[in-house]
């Protein structure tokens, strides 16, 4: 009897895993339009706010926060960081601009309208990606966790991100789109779409081939940078030191 029960339990587990796998939707991307992107921008954070397009860039001695003209890729304004800081993800919440740093374990806060410095919060882990659901800040640190924080950088909760029951590590740049968290998987051409309630990956987006080989140079780095324009719903992707920014649409993989 025990053997029969064990077999039935194993069969149920297999079916559950198969069902879980079936629920992870598969997409590839199709380019709708392409734009010029600054090849000097090591893209860390990318987002629209107040009808304008913003980008934070990393690397020691190169880190900046800038407003970019979408149509031309021209940098309209730029705020540089001291050489000791490696800027990371960025987002606006409640009129404040938040910018993470990678190893410095601090987050900077500015007035989003004027870019005047307001304060600095200590941060107990590496800073990678940053987005918001309109209430909390949502941060990644290169692990498989997403951290939900108050605007004062106090941790509310975290979720472990899993796909088909396995942890998804190297979560990097984040964007909150239609109630889900989109995350670049660092060093890959993949984006995962995460349910913020429990960390379950609901979709996998294959972006391989987005930047053609002919446009790549020895300096061209990985896919990183997701932004949705809330006014139009359009989604944009780019990468570190990429010469192009792409408006894309998702195509289901059958």
Domain assignments of the chain as residue spans, ordered by start: 25-252
Give domain 25-252's CATH architecture.
6 Propeller (2.120)
| Contacts of residue 244, Cβ cutoff 8 Å, sequence gap at least 6 | 34, 35, 36, 37, 211, 215, 238
Q: Is the pTM of this model over 0.85?
A: yes
Residue in 186, 164, 176 with CA at minimum distance from that of residue 226: 176
Grade residue 22 by pLDDT with cuts at 50, 70 and 90.
low
Per-residue pLDDT tens over the stretch 40-58: 999 999 999 999 999 999 9
User: Does 1 score more than 50 pLDDT?
Assistant: no
Tell me the average pLDDT across 109-129. Answer: 96
Mean pLDDT of the residues in the chain? 92
Contact 221, 235 (CB under 8 A): no
User: Does 32 score more than 80 pLDDT?
Assistant: yes
């Amino acid at each position: 009897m025990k053997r029969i029960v064990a077999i039935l339990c194993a069969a149920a587990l297999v079916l559950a895993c198969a069902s879980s796998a079936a629920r992870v939707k598969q997409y590839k991307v199709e380019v709708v339009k392409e734009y010029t992107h600054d090849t000097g921008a090591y893209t860390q954070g990318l987002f629209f706010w107040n009808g304008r397009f913003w980008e934070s860039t990393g690397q020691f001695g190169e880190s900046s926060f800038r407003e970019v003209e979408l149509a031309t890729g021209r940098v309209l304004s730029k705020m540089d960081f001291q050489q000791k800081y490696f800027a990371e993800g960025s987002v606006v919440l409640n009129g404040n601009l938040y910018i993470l740093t990678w190893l410095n374990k601090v987050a900077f806060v500015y007035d989003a309208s004027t870019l005047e410095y307001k304060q600095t919060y200590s941060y107990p882990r590496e800073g990678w990606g940053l987005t918001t659901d309109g209430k909390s800040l949502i941060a990644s640190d290169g692990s498989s966790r997403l951290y939900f924080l108050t605007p004062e950088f106090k941790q509310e909760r975290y979720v472990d991100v899993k796909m088909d029951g396995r942890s998804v590590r190297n979560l990097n740049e984040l964007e909150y789109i239609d109630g889900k968290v989109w995350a670049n998987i660092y060093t890959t051409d993949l984006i995962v779409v995460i349910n913020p309630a429990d960390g379950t990956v609901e979709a996998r987006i294959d972006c391989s081939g987005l930047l053609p080989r002919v446009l790549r140079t020895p300096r061209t780095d990985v896919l990183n940078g997701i932004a949705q324009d809330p006014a139009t719903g359009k989604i944009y992707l780019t990468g570190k030191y990429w010469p192009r920014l792409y408006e894309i649409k998702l195509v289901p993989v059958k």
